Amino acid sequence: MATDAQQACFEAGIKFGSLYHQFSGTPVSPSSARSLEAAMAEAIENQPYCEAVDVTIHDDRVADAIDHENGYTELTGSLMDVEMRIDYEGVAVQTRMEMEDGYPLMKLVAVADDDPSRSGDAAPSPDADPNA
């Protein structure tokens, strides 16, 4: 019922919500940020249709967020940037999470269909088009 592009966007959203709510709250410091970045990326790349995940935890923001003597903070969206690439049935979706007005926003950056016989969401599929 949904188009492949819609399904690709749905899959992209699942990965973002998963990454965020699995890992937010994790104790993090500049010295543990690299292993956490790697684990987050590799964990989510296990999920279906997920081609690539890149997580950057900003050490300067982590250091700024450490406001007590214990030397660590908890991971939140404001400490990291995330980029993901999803590929569902030939539809590639690029997504990004980054700070916008102080709020970590998850965004669709691009939706691209590599199948020239489909023109993406804006046009009918052969099946749906009686004139095809």
- Contact residues: its own copies, CB under 8 A: 1-3, 5-7, 9-29, 31-32, 35-36, 38-48, 67-68, 70-72, 74, 76, 95, 101-103, 106, 108-111, 119, 121-125, 128-129, 131-132
Nearer to its own copies, 26 or 56 (CB): 26
11 annotated as ligand-binding: yes
**In angstroms, what is the minimal distance from the CB of 60 to its own copies?**
17
**In angstroms, what is the minimal distance from the CB of 119 to its own copies?**
6
User: Contact, 117 vs 126, CB < 8 A?
Assistant: yes
> DSSP 3-state helix, strand, coil percentages of the chain (rounded to 5)?
35, 30, 35
In angstroms, how far is the first alpha carbon of the chain from the final one?
19
**In angstroms, what is the minimal distance from the CB of 51 to its own copies?**
14
**Residue 80: both structure tokens together:** 């990291």
Between CA 114 and CA 44 the distance in angstroms is 24
User: Contact, 57 vs 33, CB < 8 A?
Assistant: yes
Nearer to its own copies, 53 or 60 (CB): 53
Nearest to 10 by CA among 130, 125, 119, 121: 121
**In angstroms, what is the minimal distance from the CB of 83 to its own copies?**
15
Binding-site residues for substrate, in ranges, read 11, 106
